[in-house]
Structures are given as C-alpha cells and as structure tokens.
Amino acid sequence: EPEVTQTPSHQVTQMGQEVILRCVPISNHLYFYWYRQILGQKVEFLVSFYNNEISEKSEIFDDQFSVERPDGSNFTLKIRSTKLEDSAMYFCASSVGQGIGYTFGSGTRLTVV
Amino acid sequence: SQQGEEDPQALSIQEGENATMNCSYKTSINNLQWYRQNSGRGLVHLILIRSNEREKHSGRLRVTLDTSKKSSSLLITASRAADTASYFCATDANDYKLSFGAGTTVTVRA
C-alpha cells in the first residue's frame, strides 16, 4: 500500500537554528498538508498546499514557517529560527482530492533545546 | 470552530469487550474521519464517513454519523490488546484541512 514517507523520524536542534522537515507524498496525490501535535495535545492543522501554492494556513503558520515542493516528489516544511515551543511531532499528509481520505506519514519528532 | 470533541477522554476495558467512543462537532461537514495513534507514533486512518451516510463498517469497526446532532460514534467490537491506542475523530468541512478532537485513550486489559 502506498505510504507517505517522512524524514528524519527524530530531529534535535538548538533554539534559533533552521530546520527542514521532509516528506514524500503519495505520487498521484494532489493535496499536501502539514500538521503538528505538541506532546499530549491535539493534532493541529498548519498548512495545506495545492497546485504549487498554499491553499490555507493556520494562525500557527507564521512568517517563521514556509513550505516548498522543490521537485515532483518532495514536500518540505522549513522553520527558520526554531523556538522551544516548536517542539512537537510534525505530520505530513497527502490526499488525492478534497475530502477523499488522507494518508499521514509516521511523523518527525522535533525537539528544540 | 469545527473541532471534534471526543468522549470519554479515557476508556479501560477487558479484552473481548466492546469499546464505544463519541465525537461531537460544531458546524457542517463534508465528512468525518477516525484515526488511531499508538503512543508517540503516526496517525493511522481507520474509516471515513461522508455527510450523507449514516453508518459504515470496516472489520471490527462500526461508525455512525448523525448530522442532525452533529455527532459520530466509533464502536470497536471484540477488543484486543493491540487496540490499545488513542482514537481521534477529525472533521473535514471541505476547506482544505482536518480539525481534530482531543482523542479518547483506550486501554484494553488482557
């Protein structure tokens, strides 16, 4: 069964450093998403991406965050200057269409120290 | 807010028993989805029910949806130790995103 692949599975970074989280969505999917889950809290929507542009973003997705689809297969989330409160599990997801089921990756656990 | 809210927050049952958890949400939806998350791991899609459907089955899972009450339930029959996980409902209002609830933590005792 096709999978969404995320790398790395765990990343530790110093506060103020830039991090790039990588995702390979399912190949025939057209919609891409990033969500995050702070330990013990709800899964929160960050951003959706369709047709090479951001479709919607949440209040969390401020100027420190950016997304990119640099080639035909990867989808990345960049955090420019990490803060302690950015520590969370970040999930990438893709879907073939709106409301037609999502497939989530297994997540990247980001720890900011 | 669209967010689903699960009830109960935690559930402990004996292996072989059924587990039922509920989800309520606030506004119109396109569909509602249930996910499972094992401790500290990824989200696994379990089942999707569309707004024009009332009940759906998948293996030992049964999901109902009542759009007039803005609520859904997930029933796991004949539970197993491997069903121990957190279960989340998520609503899709056709606005490019899912809104998740806080989840129900299910513990199945052997």
B60-82 per-position pLDDT tens digit: 999 999 999 999 999 999 999 99
* CA-only gyration radius of chain A, Å: 13
Q: Which residues of A touch B41 (CB under 8 A)?
A: 106-107
Distance CA B67, CA B30 (A): 10
- Report the candidate in B67, B68, B85, A1 with the shortest Cα–Cα distance to residue B76: B85
Nearest CA-CA distance, residue B1 and chain A, Å: 12
The pLDDT assigned to A96 comes to: 87
Distance CA A53, CA A30 (A): 11
Q: Which residues of A touch B96 (CB under 8 A)?
A: 31, 33, 48, 50, 55-56, 98
Summarize pLDDT for B15-68 with one digit per residue, the tens.
999 999 999 999 899 999 999 999 878 899 999 999 999 999 999 999 999 999
- Helices first, then strands: H and E counts in chain A: 0, 11
Q: Which residue type sits at B76?
A: I
